[in-house]
Structure 1
Amino acid sequence: MNKQSKEYKQYMKSDEWEQKRQERIAIDQGCVMCGRPIEKIKSVQVHHVTYKNLGNEDVLTDICTLCGSCHRKIHNFYNRKRA
């Protein structure tokens, strides 16, 4: 499943993804990058560490909780590294 595909977009709106997302947020209790606690994060986001298991993510190894700021930093780093 390509991360830009129609299937990806549908999956990200699915109950299955929301369940995994909530499970990971409960595990991390905040941003794993900056340490900000969950109650102080305006935009709690769950980041795919890898897309290879998309749709079959292992909640413990394939995703992590980030604040919006750290999520942008990670993707900016990935985009800079590829250029």
Structure 2
Amino acid sequence: MHRMIETLPAADACRDGHAARLMQDLRGPHFGGGLYVECPCCRGNTCAQREMAISNWSRINGRPVPKAHVAAVRRVG
């Protein structure tokens, strides 16, 4: 089961300009669960942390990773 956590700001739109949203896959981590960002045309990788999911999304879509997310990802891992 999946649920939407939040709609991301316009700065986080995909390359084609579609609005992005942060989603949660409610399955356990061993079964592919976690957080990911998606839009109508693409989807990012599933990650354990919100910041990692948004950073991954930014890289996939050729956007700079927000500085707040870079610092959080470095702390995690």
TM-score (norm 1): 0.25
Point out which structure has higher relative CO (alpha carbons under 8 A, 6+ apart). 1
- Structure ranking higher in helix proportion: 1
TM-score (norm 2): 0.26
Larger-Rg structure = 1
